[in-house]
Amino acid sequence: MYRILPVMTAILLFSCKNIMFHPEEVRPNAKNLNAINLQKLQSLTPKASFKFIMTGDTQEFYDELEDFVAHVNSLNDISFVLLNGDLVEFGWNNEYNWVADRLAKLKVPYIATIGNHDMLANGREMYKLMFGQENFVFNYGTSRFICLNTNSRETAFDGSIPDMNWLSDQLKDTTPQNIFILSHVPPFSDDFNRSIEYNFRVLLRSNLRTRLSLHGHEHKYHVEQPYGDGLEYLVAGSGEQRNYALITVDGSNYSLEEKFY
């Protein structure tokens, strides 16, 4: 009996490390994934003409995400993948880990921004630990990607999201040949802080190198110029629709295609 107790104690201690006690715990299986993937991306020689994929709203569509990863891995001309948020549905620890496990199989670098569902429960803390900062910038060749949190409703439209001062600072730089904006909620959505919608879209046009604003949230692929100012807004579909946006960049020009897997 006494010999069995130490063995049982060891088993219980080991098991405790591998059991999820509560869905809102914060215990990511991976950390700093955006930084890790950006290091991979920076180690590659940038192409003057390149292709990248944007998709999002993978929430709950785990089989579809596995198929998406397999599809991307079958392509040989993709430089990287952008995920425009709503990676998970409830902001739960296990959801984040399930998504990360599937994305780990991607052969190309991937970068994720935060969606409104990613902020539910303890999801905002999970995102920061697993992926990194909510607002960040990276370069690929002569193109710059400005990624930010636009999920205003999740902070009761208190003016903190999006961070307009931060965005303004990023857009003052006119050295990139192209600037692409990546966020989850588009400014014409009711979940965006409509009181700053005008200032937001004017700010994007303040830098003439801004080519395209990339979003998700609406679960329907569409491209439009909602403000008539020449700037296109691309909204990708969702995992449920098994589609994504393929963006080809050549110099200062770009082209868009809706693709399916």
Residues 14-71 have pLDDT tens digits of 344 445 557 678 899 999 999 999 999 999 999 999 999 999 999 999 999 999 999 9
Cα distance between residue 123 and residue 228, in whole Å: 36
Q: Is the pTM of this model over 0.85?
A: yes
> Smallest Cα–Cα separation from 101: which of 55, 59, 65, 129?
65
Q: Does 252 have pLDDT greater than 60? A: yes
Is 44 part of any domain? Answer: yes
What is the percent of the chain with per-residue pLDDT over 70, rounded to a whole number?
A: 92
Q: Does 183 have pLDDT greater than 50? A: yes
Band of pLDDT at residue 112, cut at 50, 70 and 90: very high
Is 211 part of any domain? Answer: yes
Is 35 part of any domain? Answer: yes
With left for phi above 0 and alpha for psi between -120 and 50, is residue 132 left, alpha or beta? Answer: left
Cα distance between residue 126 and residue 250, in whole Å: 36
User: How many structural domains compose the chain?
Assistant: 1
Band of pLDDT at residue 9, cut at 50, 70 and 90: very low
Cα distance between residue 99 and residue 92, in whole Å: 11
User: 190: how many CB neighbours lie within 10 A of its CB?
Assistant: 8
CATH number of the domain that residue 149 is part of: 3.60.21.10
User: 116: how many CB neighbours lie within 10 A of its CB?
Assistant: 23
Is 209 part of any domain? Answer: yes
Strands (E), 33-141: 49-55, 80-83, 110-112, 136-140
> Smallest Cα–Cα separation from 84: which of 170, 171, 151?
151
Residues 199-233 have pLDDT tens digits of 999 999 999 999 999 999 999 999 999 999 999 99
Residues 135-157 have pLDDT tens digits of 999 999 999 999 999 999 999 99
Is 100 part of any domain? Answer: yes
Residues 75-84 have pLDDT tens digits of 999 999 999 9
User: 215: how many CB neighbours lie within 10 A of its CB?
Assistant: 26
- Long-range contacts of the stretch 242-245 (C-beta < 8 A, 24+): 242/64, 242/67, 242/68, 243/55, 244/53, 244/54, 244/55, 244/68, 245/53, 245/54, 245/55, 245/214, 245/221
- pLDDT, residue 19, reads 52
Cα distance between residue 67 and residue 227, in whole Å: 36
Is 182 part of any domain? Answer: yes
196 Cβ neighbours under 8 A, 6+ residues apart = 159, 162, 164
> Smallest Cα–Cα separation from 137: which of 182, 202, 199?
182
Query: How high does pLDDT run on average in the chain?
Result: 93
- pLDDT, residue 24, reads 75
- pLDDT, residue 230, reads 96
- 199: containing domain: 27-260
Is 89 part of any domain? Answer: yes
Is 40 part of any domain? Answer: yes
